[in-house]
Amino acid sequence: MRRGALEHCVLALLRDSPRYGVELVQTLGASGALTTSEGTIYPLLSRLRRDGLVETTWQESVSGPPRRYYSLTEAGHGSLAEFTAEWTRFRDAVEGFLAPSEGR
């Protein structure tokens, strides 16, 4: 379940502004539940790029070599919107089963 959600968490992080890979790893790790590594993120980003959900640009860095920044394409925005709607229905259904209930 985590693996499937990770892809869409990355898309959500790219929704408002481009980010580079290490920044994504750090932001996901800060959540506590989505700690991941560069060895997971970069193959995922490559697949998302091949699938047309993200695009890349190179930008100079003030502290080292140029960085590859990832941003959402129109298809990426659409995929994220579809997942968000499905996730809400899924989450609500699971919470309905997990919540204590009389007579269930």
Chain segment 45-85, per-residue pLDDT in tens? 999 999 999 999 999 988 889 999 999 999 999 999 999 99
Which pLDDT does position 3 carry in this prediction?
Answer: 66
Do residues 70 and 20 make contact, with C-beta atoms less than 8 angstroms apart?
yes
pLDDT of residue 63: 87
Grade residue 101 by pLDDT with cuts at 50, 70 and 90. Answer: confident
Report how far residue 104's alpha carbon sits from residue 94's, in angstroms, rounded to the nearest whole number: 14
Contacts of 38 (CB under 8 A, 6+ apart): 21, 22, 25
Could you report the per-residue pLDDT of 32-42, keeping only the tens digit for each? Answer: 888 888 899 99
pLDDT at site 50: 97
- 4 has pLDDT over 80: no
As a whole number of angstroms, the distance between CA 14 and CA 70 comes to: 7
The distance of Cα 59 from the centroid of its chain, to the nearest Å, equals 21
Q: Is the pLDDT of residue 103 over 60?
A: no
- What's the number of CA atoms in the CB half-sphere (13 Å) around residue 98? 6
